[in-house]
């Protein structure tokens, strides 16, 4: 009789523990389900809200404890592998790794289409694909680059510039000298001429790129940095925020003049190096100094070169694809700024680089100097392709 009572008591205790465990687990799953539900309102399909959602979901995926879910051994191994792969991709994409970037963008695509509920009826609330007059210059540029990239790959920007001769000297309103610049009006004209027709998949890919570049990418220069150009830089011109804040406190009239004439700020400064020409992209901007600062703090991090701090105000490093990156910050410089130089040795030939009259003799002279193991000094101003001249022939002999 005593043994029977003990068995019954054990059964009751086990059932009670099981009931409590089941209740707690059900409550936890319900809370998780409630958290994943999306409250639809007027701001639901804005880019800011989508970025918040993507950040939250990817954070959940990378931090979830897989051992608490009760998975089978095979499923546990599969989920652990996917979790590790995502963590690796989220880290690698900030180093300029193209494959990791593609992986993260594909995941964002799936999250938006399958969980967030983005479809053909609401995608235009984020970017006004159906109303060209409401598209910003950056929207138009992102669409143009995406469509050109489908056909030309990483030559997309070069094709766009060459087709419409955007690298020609031109006069800009308010300036007395011609300069290399691509304006908002030029981008609008090109967009109108192209008469692009986008499918829902195209629109969602453009939206995913916009979300990615503000989440893990390099803001407005994210796609530009991947292109086959000589380099890209940001924050290297324009008025610094410290100067504007100082002027606002001392001379409000002068600040009004600056605002009226739309004097570029440092965070509006985006330049590319294309065929040895420094071209300002006047239609693009980082938007705020904090966004420029975020890009500067991430773009040099490959292989852990150390911390960029006030006492160590610059860093020189390489990116995953071999690009050389230089980053500076206050107080060493007036603003946060970066320079990315890309070296495409396969494409750099002496015949392509040296184009002036008498180039055949110059090329022959270089070849004989190298064969004779002579010491050669290549000098010239910034952007005159000194390094590419070295790359054009066997560098290890120069």
Is residue 234 in a domain? yes
Residues 140 and 267 in one domain: yes
Residues 175 and 310 in one domain: yes
Total count of domains within the chain: 3
CB within 8 A of 397, min separation 6: which ones? 370, 371, 373
Q: Which residue matches tokens 């590790």?
A: 84
Residues 337 and 384 in one domain: no
Among residues 341, 367, 387, the one where a domain terminates is 341
Phi and psi of 66, rounded to 5°? -70, -20
Is residue 1 in a domain? yes
pLDDT digit string (tens) for the chain, length 398 residues = 566 767 677 777 777 777 666 655 655 554 444 444 556 666 789 999 999 999 999 999 998 888 877 778 888 888 889 899 999 999 999 898 999 999 999 999 999 999 998 999 999 999 999 999 999 999 999 999 999 999 999 999 999 999 999 999 998 877 788 999 999 999 999 999 999 999 999 999 999 999 999 999 999 999 999 999 989 999 998 887 766 666 655 655 555 555 555 667 888 999 999 888 899 999 999 989 999 999 999 999 999 999 899 889 999 999 988 899 999 999 899 899 999 998 755 556 677 667 677 888 888 888 888 888 888 887 877 666 666 555 544 444 33
Looking at residue 161, what is its pLDDT?
A: 95
Distance in angstroms (rounded) separating the CA atoms of residues 140 and 91: 29
Is residue 60 in a domain? no
Residues 297 and 156 in one domain: yes
Is residue 237 in a domain? yes
Among residues 341, 358, 380, the one where a domain terminates is 341
Residues 189 and 291 in one domain: yes
Residues 288 and 356 in one domain: no
CA–CA distances in Å: residue 313 to residues 212, 244, 268, 297, 298: 28, 22, 21, 11, 15
**Domain interval for residue 362:** 350-397
Residues 330 and 357 in one domain: no
Distance in angstroms (rounded) separating the CA atoms of residues 160 and 166: 8
Is residue 184 in a domain? yes
Looking at residue 248, what is its pLDDT?
A: 55
Residues 289 and 160 in one domain: yes
Distance in angstroms (rounded) separating the CA atoms of residues 324 and 304: 14
Is residue 263 in a domain? yes
Is residue 72 in a domain? no
Write out the H or E segment, with its range, that includes residue 337. Answer: strand 337-341
Q: What is the dihedral of CA 197, 201, 206, 210, to 10 degrees?
A: 150
Residues 229 and 276 in one domain: yes
CA–CA distances in Å: residue 49 to residues 39, 213, 292: 11, 15, 21
The vertex-326 CA angle with 325 and 329, nearest 5°, equals 140
Phi and psi of 47, rounded to 5°? -65, -40
Residues 301 and 162 in one domain: yes
Q: Which residue matches tokens 């986008």?
A: 198
The vertex-219 CA angle with 131 and 109, nearest 5°, equals 65
Residues 211 and 334 in one domain: yes
Among residues 293, 317, 341, the one where a domain terminates is 341
Residues 277 and 171 in one domain: yes
Sign of CA dihedral 171, 174, 177, 179: negative
Distance in angstroms (rounded) separating the CA atoms of residues 19 and 28: 14
Is residue 123 in a domain? no
Q: Do residues 323 and 154 make contact, with C-beta atoms less than 8 angstroms apart?
A: no
């Amino acid at each position: 009789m005593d043994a029977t009572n003990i068995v019954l008591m054990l059964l009751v205790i086990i059932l009670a523990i099981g009931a409590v465990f089941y209740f707690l687990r059900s409550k936890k799953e319900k809370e998780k389900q409630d958290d994943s539900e999306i409250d639809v309102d007027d701001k639901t399909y804005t880019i800011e809200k989508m970025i918040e959602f993507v950040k939250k979901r990817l954070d959940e995926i990378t931090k979830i404890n897989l051992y608490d879910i009760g998975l089978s051994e095979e499923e546990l191994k599969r989920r652990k592998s996917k979790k590790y792969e995502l963590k690796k991709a989220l880290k690698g994409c900030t180093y300029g790794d193209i494959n990791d970037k593609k992986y993260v963008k594909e995941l964002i695509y799936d999250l938006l289409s399958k969980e967030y509920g983005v479809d053909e009826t609401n995608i235009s609330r984020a970017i006004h694909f159906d109303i060209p007059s409401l598209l910003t210059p950056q929207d138009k540029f992102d669409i143009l680059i995406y469509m050109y990239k489908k056909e030309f790959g990483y030559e997309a920007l070069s094709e766009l510039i060459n087709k419409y001769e955007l690298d020609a000297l031109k006069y800009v309103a308010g300036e007395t000298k011609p300069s290399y610049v691509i304006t908002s009006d030029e981008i609008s004209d090109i967009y109108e001429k192209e008469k692009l027709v986008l499918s829902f998949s195209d629109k969602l890919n453009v939206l995913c790129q916009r979300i990615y570049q503000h989440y893990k990418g390099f803001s407005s220069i994210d796609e530009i940095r991947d292109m086959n150009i000589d380099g890209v830089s940001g924050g290297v011109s324009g008025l610094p925020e410290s100067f504007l804040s100082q002027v606002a406190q001392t001379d409000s009239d002068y600040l009004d003049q600056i605002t009226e004439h739309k004097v570029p700020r440092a965070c509006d400064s985006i330049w590319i190096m294309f065929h040895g020409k420094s071209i300002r992209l006047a239609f693009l901007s980082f938007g705020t100094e904090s966004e420029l600062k975020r890009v500067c703090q991430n773009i040099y991090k490959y292989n852990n070169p150390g911390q960029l701090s006030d006492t160590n105000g610059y860093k020189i490093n390489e990116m995953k694809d071999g690009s050389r990156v230089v980053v500076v910050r206050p107080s060493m410089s007036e603003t946060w700024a970066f320079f990315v130089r890309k070296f495409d040795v396969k494409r750099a030939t002496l015949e392509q680089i040296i184009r002036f009259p008498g180039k055949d003799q110059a090329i022959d002279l270089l070849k004989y100097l190298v064969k004779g193991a002579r010491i050669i000094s290549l000098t010239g101003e910034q952007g005159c392709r000194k390094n590419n001249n070295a790359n054009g022939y066997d560098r290890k002999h120069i």
